[in-house]
Amino acid sequence: MDAADVESDLVEVLFTEAQIQERLAGLAQQIEGDYPVTDGEPDLLIVGILRGAVMVMADMARAFSRHIEMDWMAVSSYGSGTKSSGVVRILKDLDTDISGRHVVIVDEIIDTGLTLSWLTSNLSSRNPASVEICTLLRKPEALTMPVDVKYVGWDIPNEFVVGYGLDYRERYRNLRDIGTLAPHVYS
């Protein structure tokens, strides 16, 4: 779906599909440089947070020039609204043992930081070699929990955004661009 298909629902397009692809390739290159392949070291494990990070994970994974492993978690703190509920729930846990592994959590957006702060703590308790965070978008003004994010695509204003995996009531995830949702849609 293109932004033109939902033009009346958007205030503005923040990032086009081309800009997103270019930034994800840069993030993959940065991560690859930080985790060189060495004998005896397990491959890098990137952990996507369902459902929003599906687009980010797929496109970023294709930008790597080496083998990586992927796994998924489903974690919720939203429900169906536009603001975090403050309660983190694991809906689907990892299938992979992360002991001794370098883990990069991949998410599409960091809003309050509650979910990622909790998730980093949870995964760190499983004895990985390291745990880092990669996010396509971060809202610094919305952060209520300290979160150490190593890889950030863009910092954005504290506005409700959709597209490229980001949704409002399960709509707009398949929008190729990322845009600010018009208040008349969710008011």
In a domain, 187, yes or no: no
* DSSP letter string, 15-49: E-HHHHHHHHHHHHHHHHHHS---TTPPPPEEEEE
pTM for this prediction: 0.91
Could you give the CA distance from residue 69 to residue 73 in angstroms, rounded to a whole number? 14
Could you tell me the residue range of the domain that residue 105 belongs to? 17-33+42-158
Which CATH number goes with the domain that contains 84? 3.40.50.2020
Q: Catalytic annotation on 111? A: yes
Contact criterion met (CB below 8 Å) for 178 and 7: no
List the catalytic residue out of 107, 111, 167, 177.
111
Q: What is the number of domains present in the chain?
A: 1
pLDDT, one tens digit for every residue, the chain (187 residues): 999 999 999 999 999 999 999 999 999 999 999 998 877 666 799 999 998 999 999 999 999 999 899 999 998 775 555 555 567 889 999 999 999 999 999 999 999 898 899 999 999 999 999 999 999 999 999 999 889 999 999 999 999 999 999 999 999 999 999 999 999 999 8
